[in-house]
Amino acid sequence: MQVVRTVKYEEELDAGFTNQVASEPGGDAIWNCLQCGTCSAICPVSIYMDKTPRRIIGLIRGGFRDEVLGSLSIWICTSCYACTVECPQQIRITDIMYIAKRMAMKESQYQRFVVPAVEEAFVKMVRKNGRLTESRMGIKVVRKSGLRSGVAMFPIAWRLMRKHRMSLLHVERMQDPASLRAVLDALEPRHAPTAPAAAPSRAAGA
Amino acid sequence: MTGYLYYPGCSLKGSGAPYEKSLLAVFSALGQELKEIPDWNCCGATAYLSVDQDMAVAMAARNLAIAEKLDGQDVVAPCSGCYLSLAKAKATLAEYPDVRARVTAALGKASLPYEGRVAVRHPLEVLLTDVGPEVLKKRVTRPLKNLRVAPYYGCAILRPYPGVPSPQAPHSLEDLCRVVGATPVDYPNKARCCGGMLTAGVQSVGLRLVEILLCEAKAADVDAVVTTCPLCQYNLEVYQERICKAKGKDVRLPILYFTQLLGMAFGLDDHALGMDQLLRVPLVAPCAGVKA
Ligand code: SF4
Ligand code: SF4
């Protein structure tokens, strides 16, 4: 039997991670967390998370970069903002979840999950047409999540089509999607956080 | 400078068609102008914010910049998700100068100067504040007596930029129910999340959230749930059969838009309100015609 160390040494943490998160809009109050757990208690999906919102905040403060960016929690978060309005320390937990999502996307730390793949597809479609076509998005979701979900969605799609609330032919688009792309292209993609990242000292091991 | 600028968003042009129909019908019945923002683009939703913040803010702000360029009237965003995206972009641009510098520069290149002058509002608040309960009440010709309604707000209209008062104890839908003569029941989970995009992304979790909301409404013995958001309406409506089958309990209920409730009480035509596009309509005939 192989025995593994389950606790990280301090030198294996990423000390710059917390600053990076704190420097992004919405991340600034993270140092004030009391670890009171109000966020985890109010969160409607914390019972499905691999790490509760309180733990995510704690792990960010501790510099546990890979644990946070690789967690399913950030993709289970529905952005309901219940935690944000209840936090006694005015920490914008929802925004911090978004910051973590963006970092995970940037580092492609998300391959095993459906949600980020769907979000990338959403962004691609909106960039192209300026708007979203729900039916096309639905097809993309089904393709990412497997045949069984497609079979389950069929009766729903059929009923919506009969009610003229969904169409496979109609594509919702702007008259001039290029005018939106002109704005987006004028921005530097995935703007990097400005905080000076402390020298990463992640030794191999563990 | 009268009337409002209307930001439909993608859902109202698709599965949320009954919302658009009933919204336009109700506003026109009240003589309030809603002018669609020309060549609007997607608000960015939650997806864009997970990918790129500057671009997410720029997406939403482009619509606001167009509104400024017109007459600068208030922007009415009926989809709670769009309402939140637009309000959040506006707040982010006001609060974070570096984001503002980058985004306004990009908008400037498209000759869309952004100053942050227009207000972003939800039609529920517009109807209750600008038009007012008294005027609405006068327009009611078919009071919805005997209709028991669960008022459901969801998240985005309340948090973190409340479009109606207040995040912890909202009451606008209850007020509206009373205006039309219906009975709003006590619905403790009225501000709980409907699952949002999880019903697509992580369906087992998303559907559980839907189930909780439907069961509670059923237990309160309501005739319908009334919503303010196309995603809430969709989630609560389309998965009912599947939840019935999987959980062996009856969660079938009509899920209405608040604009349909109002339109019904105004005596507007079912077709004009998109009632025929719902998967389920209230059994208590709205046309009972009992005068209050
Ligand atoms: S509610 Fe706020 S202070 Fe309490 S654990 Fe969560 S983030 Fe920390
Ligand atoms: S915003 Fe996310 S983390 Fe916060 S309560 Fe909602 S689902 Fe939970």
What does the DSSP assignment read for A170-185?
Answer: -----S-HHHHHHHHH
Chain A nearest C-alpha distance from B169 (Å): 13
Chain A residues inside the 8 Å CB shell of B16:
165
Predicted confidence (pLDDT) at residue A4 exceeds the cutoff of 50 = yes
Q: Is the CB of A43 under 6 A from ligand 1?
A: no
- Nearest ligand 1 atom to alpha carbon A34: 3
Predicted confidence (pLDDT) at residue A205 exceeds the cutoff of 60 = no
Pocket around ligand 2 at a 6 A CB cut-off: A 42-43, 45, 53, 77-83, 93-94, 97
Q: Is the CB of A35 under 6 A from ligand 1?
A: yes
Residue of B258 and A195 predicted with greater confidence:
B258
At A169-179, the pLDDT tens digits run 899 999 999 99
**Helix runs in chain B, H state only:** 9-12, 17-29, 45-51, 53-69, 80-95, 97-109, 123-126, 133-139, 172-179, 198-201, 203-219, 230-238, 240-247, 258-265
At B198-235, the pLDDT tens digits run 998 899 999 999 999 999 999 999 999 999 999 999 99
Average pLDDT (A112-116) is: 84
Predicted confidence (pLDDT) at residue A201 exceeds the cutoff of 70 = no
CA distance readout (Å), B60 to A45, B55, B120: 27, 9, 11
CA atoms within 13 A on the CB side of A56: 33
- Cα–Cα dist B274/B266, whole Å: 14
In 3D, which of B147, B256, B253, B176 has the Cα closest to residue B210? B253
Q: Nearest by CB to A80, which of B105, B107, B193?
A: B193
- The answer to whether the CB of B11 falls within 8 A of the CB of B228 is no
Instruction: Say whether the ipTM exceeds 0.90.
Output: yes
Predicted confidence at residue A137, as pLDDT, reads 87
At A84-102, the pLDDT tens digits run 999 999 999 999 999 999 9
Within 175-204 of A, beta carbons closer than 8 Å to B belong to 175-177, 179-180, 182-184, 186-191, 194
Predicted confidence (pLDDT) at residue A27 exceeds the cutoff of 80 = yes
- Nearest ligand 1 atom to alpha carbon A32: 3
Nearest-ligand number for the alpha carbon of A77: 2
Predicted confidence at residue A202, as pLDDT, reads 41
- Cα–Cα dist B139/A136, whole Å: 40
**Per-residue confidence of chain B (292 residues) as pLDDT tens digits?**
579 999 999 999 999 999 999 999 999 999 999 999 999 999 999 999 999 999 999 999 999 999 999 988 999 999 999 999 999 999 999 999 999 999 999 999 999 999 999 999 999 999 999 999 999 999 999 999 999 999 999 999 999 999 999 899 999 999 999 999 999 999 999 999 999 999 988 999 999 999 999 999 999 999 999 999 999 999 999 999 999 999 999 999 999 999 999 999 999 999 999 999 999 988 655 444 443 3
- Nearest ligand 1 atom to alpha carbon A38: 1
Predicted confidence (pLDDT) at residue A183 exceeds the cutoff of 90 = yes
- The answer to whether the CB of B132 falls within 8 A of the CB of B259 is no
At A42-70, the pLDDT tens digits run 999 999 999 999 999 999 999 999 999 99
Predicted confidence (pLDDT) at residue A204 exceeds the cutoff of 60 = no
Q: Which of A94, A118, A131, A168 to probe the B interface (max B CBs under 10 A)?
A: A131
**CA of B195 relative to ligand 2 center, distance in Å:** 11
- Delineate the domains of chain B, giving CATH numbers in brackets: 2-121 (1.20.1050.140), 136-277 (3.40.50.11810)
- Cα–Cα dist B234/A95, whole Å: 25
- Delineate the domains of chain A, giving CATH numbers in brackets: 10-106 (1.10.1060.10), 114-187 (no CATH)
- Cα–Cα dist A203/B5, whole Å: 57
Q: Which residue of A has its CA nearest to B193?
A: A80
Find the farthest-apart pair of alpha carbons in chain B and give their distance in angstroms, rounded: 59
Q: How far apart are the first and last CA of chain A?
A: 16
**CA of B212 relative to ligand 2 center, distance in Å:** 17
A47 CB-contact burial (10 Å; exposed 0-12 / middle 13-18 / buried 19+): exposed
> Which pLDDT band, with edges at 50, 70 and 90, does A197 fall under?
very low
